[in-house]
Amino acid sequence: MHTVRIILSGLLLVGQLFADDDSIALLIKTAKDSENPALRTVLLKGMIKGLEGQVNVNAPEGWKELNAELVKSTDPQHKELAREIGQIFGDAGAAQEALTLLKDQKRKIKDRRSALKSLIAQKEPGLNEIVRSLLEEPEMRLDAIRAFGKIEGADSNQLIKQYSDWDTQTKRAVVETLATKKETSEALLIALQKKEILPSEIPAYTARTLHSLLGERFDKIYGKVQVQSTNKKELILKYSRLLDRPEASKADPARGRILFSALCGTCHQMYGEGGLLGPDLTGSNRANREYILLNIVDPNFDVPDGYKMVIVKTKDNRVLAGTIGEEDSQKVVLKMVAGKEIIPKENIKERQKLPISMMPEGILDTIPTEDFFALIKYLQTEEQIEIP
């Protein structure tokens, strides 16, 4: 019980701090004075949270001494956290250790992903060739593709060159990555013109970003980008009548779970599985057929402020689309389909909030009627369905 109280005290301390020198120095002092490993872990994670998005920060007083203790720790998590913090403080040794870890295929994938993330955040030079080699590793491929959109000077043509060899999920990651910068969106446009990438392979939410980057040149190939929904009452009525058919009640919810994962799970959670971009659907009014159809057919009908689409243009010429996860005086955390992106406010050139959600319209138009029945059957379940 005493340990629990200590940890809760540490969490309270972290929750009251801001990302400034005095706050980080206080965390360092508290961690150095503590002999409780669990509390140290909480405080170190609090430091990383407070330093998110910052580059080459001067190490506050006490860090050198604390770091010397942490690198000798028998707790591997303490060593990993110390390395991440050391990189933010410009420690060349920590950066070299992260590079070595990233290149070592025998290390845990989780640790290598963490190393890549920290190296990108700290703008480590020389990452281009390493990331290119990671494309050949299936377990690191998606991470490598995302990195192409964040590393200065990365050759996006390499992604297009290998595009046809990859599965649907990987192809989508390529398209989303190429849509984050003006120059890479130009490469994507050329690939569309050459039919190396097909318009049908570009999700609606990504098409909106590409429309803002490329304008009519993109529209001529992709088609008209629908920005705002019109009256959807007749369409909702059409799908509601379909669900009155006898075969709708016989649909397989297990198949619906598979369809949910493919169509909705990138952004939404249900029963603890799925993405975090959109609302968690577990506790929503899913028993109500009209509620489900309204939100699928007309996702822009009534969008809560926290789920409205935000487009951020950065000073290093990236264009990112998502929803605001959190924000403080130092940074904006953007929730995107690809994951969380931490953007220092000093690097934001322009930010625009649109009156629409990230969710595309027309999802039900893309699937057969029997799949529609299965998806709705799963959405109306009251507990998780096992997949055979």
Is the pLDDT at 14 greater than 60, yes or no? no
Average pLDDT score over the chain: 85
Pull the structure tokens for residue 30.
């508290």
> Rounded to an integer, what distance in angstroms lies between the CA atom of residue 180 and that of residue 148?
10
- Is the domain of 200 the same as that of 81? no
- Is the domain of 198 the same as that of 240? no
21-32 pLDDT per residue, tens: 677 788 888 888
- Is the domain of 310 the same as that of 261? no
- Is the domain of 173 the same as that of 246? no
Does 211 map to a domain? yes
> Rounded to an integer, what distance in angstroms lies between the CA atom of residue 192 and that of residue 202?
10
Which residue is associated with the tokens 């625009």? 352
pLDDT band at 158 (very low <50, low <70, confident <90, very high): very high
As a whole number, mean pLDDT of residues 78-97 equals 85
Can you give the pLDDT at residue 258?
Answer: 94
Cβ atoms of residues 215 and 207 within 8 Å = no
pTM: 0.63
* Domain count within the chain: 4
Is the pLDDT at 289 greater than 70, yes or no? yes
Q: What is the DSSP letter of 321?
A: E
Percent of the chain with pLDDT over 90: 36
Domain housing 183: 156-225
Is the pLDDT at 12 greater than 50, yes or no? no
Residue 210 φ/ψ region, left for φ over 0, alpha for ψ in the -120 to 50 degree band, beta for the rest: alpha
Is the pLDDT at 151 greater than 50, yes or no? yes
- Is the domain of 22 the same as that of 77? yes
Does 117 map to a domain? no
Pull the structure tokens for residue 218.
């993109």
Name which of 2-16, 111-125, 198-212 the model is least confident about. 2-16
- Is the domain of 255 the same as that of 166? no
Can you give the pLDDT at residue 21?
Answer: 61
> Rounded to an integer, what distance in angstroms lies between the CA atom of residue 263 and that of residue 375?
9
pLDDT band at 70 (very low <50, low <70, confident <90, very high): confident
Pull the structure tokens for residue 194.
């050459």
300-358 pLDDT per residue, tens: 877 888 889 999 999 988 989 999 988 988 899 999 887 888 999 999 999 999 888 88
- Contacts (Cβ under 8 Å, ≥6 apart) of 290: 236, 240
Q: What is the DSSP letter of 318?
A: B
Is the pLDDT at 11 greater than 50, yes or no? no
Pull the structure tokens for residue 169.
């999920």
Other beta carbons within 10 angstroms of residue 359's beta carbon come to 22
CATH number at residue 347: 2.30.30.100
> Rounded to an integer, what distance in angstroms lies between the CA atom of residue 258 and that of residue 278?
18
| 76: nearest Cα among 131, 36, 37, 130 | 37
Domain edge (last residue) among 59, 90, 121 = 90
pLDDT band at 172 (very low <50, low <70, confident <90, very high): confident
Is the pLDDT at 140 greater than 90, yes or no? yes
Cβ atoms of residues 138 and 158 within 8 Å = no
- Is the domain of 239 the same as that of 375? yes
Residue 3 has, within 13 A of its CA and on its CB side, a CA count of 8
242-280 pLDDT per residue, tens: 999 999 989 999 999 999 998 898 889 999 998 888 888
Does 147 map to a domain? no
| 338: nearest Cα among 142, 186, 161 | 142
Look at 17 and 20; give whichever has higher pLDDT. 20
As a whole number, mean pLDDT of residues 139-153 equals 90
| 37: nearest Cα among 89, 93, 83, 79 | 79
Which residue is associated with the tokens 């050759």? 155
- Is the domain of 240 the same as that of 207? no
As a whole number, mean pLDDT of residues 73-97 equals 85
